[in-house]
C-alpha cells in the first residue's frame, strides 16, 4: 500500500491536527505515504467557480507531479482538495478544450498529465484498501461508550459518489464502530457545514453549523467526527458566535483519524487533540483510563 500524499494548505495550518493524526495512523497500519514534491494550492472551490480553465491548470499541476513521480494513488485528506482534484480530472477527460489549455500550460513547465492518477480520500483508503479487520487488530483502547455523530459533509460524496453513497454514506460509520464507538443515527451527515459562508455570510453559514451541532447534541452524541478541515473549523471554531445567536450547543468536533489514534493508544497531544477549541478533555481522560 503506497500512496502519494497531497496535504493541501489547510492541514498545514489551521487543520494541522488532521495531518498530525492521519500520518501516524497510516504508518501504524503499514501504509507508505510520500508527500508530493513541490505541490501547490488546489485552487479550492473559489477559483474553479471564477476561472474554470486557469483553476484546472493549477490543480492539474499536482496531478501531473503525482503521475510523474508516483505512486499513482494520490491521497488527499481535505474534502475540498479531494473534490477539486477529482473535478479537474473529470474536466480534463470530458472537455478537449480544457484539456488543451491544461496540457499547454503544463508543457511550459515541462510537465504533462495523461489521466492516470487516482484521487483517493483517506476514508476510502482506510476502509477499502486497509480494511476494517486490519484496523480492528490495531485497536488497543476501544472507544467503548463514546457516542459519535459521523459527519461526512458534502464534498466527499457529492457530486462524485465514488466510494460511498451520495446521501447516506456509511464508511465512517463502520470504521468508527470498528473502533468500539457507539455510532448514533445522524441523518444530517451529508448536510452543508456552512462552508466558506461562515466567513462571508455568517448569518447563513453559522446557522447551518448550528443545526449540525444542535442535532448532534439532541441525538445524544458526545463528539462529532469529521473528515474535512473546513467542517472541523466551522463546527469547532464559532461556538461563541453561535451561542450569541441561537444558544449554546457545546460539543467537540474531532477528525475521525484522531479517534483512530486514540483507539490505537496514541497519546492525545501527539495526534493534535490539544488543538481543539472545544476540548474533548473529559472524554479523553475516561478513554485513557480504560
Please report, as ranges, the residues that interact with another protein according to CB under 8 A: 165, 167-168, 187-188, 211, 214-215, 218
Distances, alpha carbon 40 to alpha carbons 36, 62, 83, 99, 213, in Å: 9, 7, 15, 19, 33
- Residue 108 to residues 70, 112, 116, Cα–Cα distance (Å): 21, 9, 20
CB of 227 to another protein, least distance (A): 19
* Nearest partner of 173 among 133, 132, 138, judged by Cα: 132
CB of 209 to another protein, least distance (A): 14
Q: Which is nearer to another protein, 136 or 214 (CB)?
A: 214
Q: Closest CB to another protein among 172 and 273?
A: 172
Helices and strands in the chain, H and E counts: 14, 8
Between residues 37 and 168, which has the closer beta carbon with respect to another protein? Answer: 168
* Nearest residue (CB) to another protein, 210 versus 264: 210
User: Min. distance of Cβ 30 from another protein in angstroms?
Assistant: 35
Phi, psi for residue 125 in degrees, rounded to 5: -60, -45
Q: How far is the CB of 168 from another protein (least distance, A)?
A: 5
Nearest to 1 by CA among 85, 127, 115, 89: 127
Amino acid at each position: 500500500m503506497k500512496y502519494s500524499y497531497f496535504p493541501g494548505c489547510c492541514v498545514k495550518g489551521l487543520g494541522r491536527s488532521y495531518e498530525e493524526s492521519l500520518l501516524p495512523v497510516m504508518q501504524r497500519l503499514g501504509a507508505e505515504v510520500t508527500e508530493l514534491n513541490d505541490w501547490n494550492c488546489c485552487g479550492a472551490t473559489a477559483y474553479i467557480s471564477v476561472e474554470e480553465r486557469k483553476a484546472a491548470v493549477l490543480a492539474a499541476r499536482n496531478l501531473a507531479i503525482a503521475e510523474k513521480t508516483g505512486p499513482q494513488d494520490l491521497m488527499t485528506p481535505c474534502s475540498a482538495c479531494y473534490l477539486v482534484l477529482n473535478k479537474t480530472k473529470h474536466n480534463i477527460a470530458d472537455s478537449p478544450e480544457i484539456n488543451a489549455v491544461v496540457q499547454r500550460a503544463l508543457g511550459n513547465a515541462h510537465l504533462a498529465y495523461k489521466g492516470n492518477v487516482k484521487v483517493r480520500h483517506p476514508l476510502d483508503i482506510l476502509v477499502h484498501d486497509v480494511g476494517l479487520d486490519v484496523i480492528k487488530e490495531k485497536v488497543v483502547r476501544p472507544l467503548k461508550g463514546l457516542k459519535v455523530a459521523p459527519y461526512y459533509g458534502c464534498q466527499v460524496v457529492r457530486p462524485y459518489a465514488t466510494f460511498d453513497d451520495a446521501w447516506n454514506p456509511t464508511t465512517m460509520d463502520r470504521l468508527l464502530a470498528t473502533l468500539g464507538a457507539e455510532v448514533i443515527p445522524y441523518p444530517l451527515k451529508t448536510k452543508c457545514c456552512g462552508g466558506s459562508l461562515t466567513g462571508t455570510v455568517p448569518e447563513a453559514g453559522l446557522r447551518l453549523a448550528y443545526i449540525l451541532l444542535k442535532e448532534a447534541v439532541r441525538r445524544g452524541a458526545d463528539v462529532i467526527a469529521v473528515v474535512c478541515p473546513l467542517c472541523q473549523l466551522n463546527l469547532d471554531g464559532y461556538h461563541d458566535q453561535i451561542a450569541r445567536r441561537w444558544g449554546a450547543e457545546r460539543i467537540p468536533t474531532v477528525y475521525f483519524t484522531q479517534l483512530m489514534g486514540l483507539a490505537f493508544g496514541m497519546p492525545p497531544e501527539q495526534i493534535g487533540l490539544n488543538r481543539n477549541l472545544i476540548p474533548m478533555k473529559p472524554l479523553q481522560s475516561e478513554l485513557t483510563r480504560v
